[in-house]
Amino acid sequence: MLQTTIIFFLMLILFWGPLVYLFVLLIRALRKYLRSGKVRSEKASVRKSLGEALKEQRLRCQMTQEFVAEQLGVSRQAVSKWENGSSDPSTSNLLALAKLYGVSPEDLLKQVQN
């Protein structure tokens, strides 16, 4: 009888222990995510601004995303992601974009700050 009770409690701990631990981790991650709202919104606005500046320069030069991608050696989807703000170009790609668009990198980034 005592042996079955001990086995029962061990099985209970082995089953519920990891579930409780996962629940605690989930709550911590959710709290961290909720606290980072301000930072996420600031990053989104900067990305959006950089993407808008890149798209504006591309359209000013009357280039397609495909042409820009071929010139830089990246995919058209990468150029699209830069312009819609879901990712940022690397420093080398940003320099190449500025050169392709005929503007200085500083001028390209100044548009983002304003």
The per-residue pLDDT string of the chain (114 residues; one tens digit each, 9 = 90 and over) reads 778 888 888 888 888 888 899 999 999 999 999 999 888 887 766 666 788 899 999 999 999 999 999 999 999 999 999 999 889 999 999 999 999 999 999 988 887 755
pTM across the whole model = 0.59
The pLDDT score that the predictor gives to residue 93 is 96
Alpha-carbon distance 76 to 56, whole Å? 16
Same domain, 55 and 4: no
Model pLDDT, residue 111:
74
Residue 22's domain comprises 1-35
Same domain, 53 and 108: yes
Same domain, 80 and 24: no
The closest alpha carbon to 58, from 100, 113, 105, belongs to 100
Tell me the residue type at 67. Answer: F
Residues 56, 103: one domain? Answer: yes
Return the percent helix, strand and coil in the chain, to nearest 5.
Answer: 85, 0, 15
Contact present, 54 and 81 (Cβ < 8 Å): no
pLDDT at 109: 85
